Amino acid sequence: MQIGGYVAEASLAAARAEDPTAAVADYRAMVKALMAANRQLGWVGNNLNQLTWHLNKDGSWPQSDTVRRLLDGVEAAVEVVDTAVAQVVEGR
């Protein structure tokens, strides 16, 4: 999020709230949590790239059901973060 977008969203949150200070603090906490989640998903993506490299290097995918469950979990986490980001951007 660009600084201008953050300022605009925080200002709107403050204008809508009975307690503007708390609203801005809540908005800031949400943005910080989403940024942390995004950073952690980046680390997961890096680990998945390393895993894929090793699996492809050896030519076989042992325990493919385990790999599939891992990927399903990562996809679910990405969807949750995407939904949360959309809600913050929409001002919910």
> pLDDT, tens digit, for every residue of 36-69?
988 999 999 999 899 888 888 877 777 888 888 9
23 located within any domain:
no
- Alpha-carbon distance of 88 to 44, in angstroms, equals 23
The two three-digit tokens of residue 46, written as one number: 């890096």
13 located within any domain:
no
> Which pLDDT belongs to residue 20?
67
Domain encompassing residue 45: 28-89
21 located within any domain:
no
CB atoms within 10 A of CB 25: 14
> Residue 92 above 60 pLDDT?
no
pTM over 0.85: no
67 located within any domain:
yes
4 located within any domain:
no
69 located within any domain:
yes
60 located within any domain:
yes
58 located within any domain:
yes
Give the count of domains, the chain. Answer: 1
> Which pLDDT belongs to residue 12?
64
